[in-house]
């Protein structure tokens, strides 16, 4: 390893013939660090509650609903924000989710969903997409905060305990059930469907 570093330094520091390549390499390294830092900063900035609620369609609809949920206010004082539930924590899936989110921003910019009324008209479609994503990932974002190992079943309501304990012990393992199957509407109002009329 030391020999490799010496050869690299020798190539980098070699006078006139290689000096242009050394300068280009230095510029490339600096540009790479700046790009990576900017990219990472943008990824984190778009995970903030302020960013998620910056458009009135979100601020006036789902954000208001979220403020009434246990994810916003609870006895333990732990608050989950939008990105905790809607953005994976791992880098690869997070990057893919951010690319998909660009399409959502495009819908806002092009007027596809630029009013609370248009949002409400598409609420079922949007919710169905989120539920499918959560189902496909085995409710990965739920499990970032909730762990069966940390659950105290003795302090759960009887109905919750009746449902959660078998899932935690693996009795439902393999049937494809995951958190979102039972917990739709936990932070947002469920979409209105025709049979609700």
Q: What local confidence, expressed as pLDDT, does residue 136 receive?
A: 92
For residue 66, give the nearest of 77, 76, 58 by alpha carbon.
58
**Predicted local confidence at residue 12, as pLDDT:** 61
Residue ranges, the chain, pLDDT below 70: 8-20, 170-175, 195-197
Please list the alpha-helical segments (H only) found in the chain.
2-13, 19-45, 49-52, 56-57, 63-67, 82-86, 91-109, 116-121, 123-136, 140-145, 158-168, 179-182
From the annotation, which residues make up the binding site? Answer: 52, 55, 58, 82, 85-86, 104, 142, 145-146, 179, 182-183, 188
Annotated binding site for a menaquinol: 82
Residue 81's pLDDT is what? 93
What is the DSSP-derived secondary structure letter of residue 48?
Answer: S
> For residue 93, which of 157, 137, 39 has the smallest C-alpha distance?
137
pLDDT for the residue 86:
92
Residue 129's pLDDT is 92
User: pLDDT for 64-111, tens place per residue?
Assistant: 999 999 999 988 888 999 999 999 999 899 989 988 888 888 887 888
Per-residue confidence (pLDDT) for residue 57, from 0 to 100: 78
User: Which pLDDT value is given to residue 38?
Assistant: 92
Phi, psi of 182 (to 5 degrees): -105, -15
Annotated binding site for heme: 52, 55, 58, 85-86, 104, 142, 145-146, 179, 182-183, 188
Closest CA to 11 of 2, 19, 3, 1: 19
- What does the alpha-carbon distance between residue 86 and residue 98 come to, in Å, rounded to a whole number? 10
pTM: 0.73
């Amino acid at each position: 390893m030391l020999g490799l570093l010496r050869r690299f330094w020798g190539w980098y520091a070699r006078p006139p013939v290689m000096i242009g390549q050394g300068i280009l390499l230095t510029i490339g390294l600096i540009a790479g660090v700046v790009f990576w830092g900017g990219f990472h900063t943008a990824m984190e900035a778009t995970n903030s509650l302020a960013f998620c609620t910056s458009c009135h369609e979100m601020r006036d609809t789902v954000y208001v609903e979220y403020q009434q949920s246990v994810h916003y206010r609870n006895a333990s004082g732990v608050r989950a924000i939008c990105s905790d539930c809607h953005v994976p924590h791992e880098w690869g899936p997070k990057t893919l989710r951010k690319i998909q989110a660009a399409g959502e921003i495009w819908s806002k910019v092009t007027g596809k969903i630029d009013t609370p009324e248009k949002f409400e008209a598409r609420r079922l479609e949007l919710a169905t997409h989120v539920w499918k994503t959560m189902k496909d990932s085995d409710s990965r974002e739920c499990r970032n905060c909730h762990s069966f190992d940390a659950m105290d079943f003795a302090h759960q309501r009887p109905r919750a305990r009746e449902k959660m304990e078998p899932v935690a012990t693996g009795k439902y393992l393999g049937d494809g059930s995951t958190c979102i199957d039972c917990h739709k509407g936990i932070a947002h109002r469920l979409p209105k469907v025709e049979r609700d009329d």
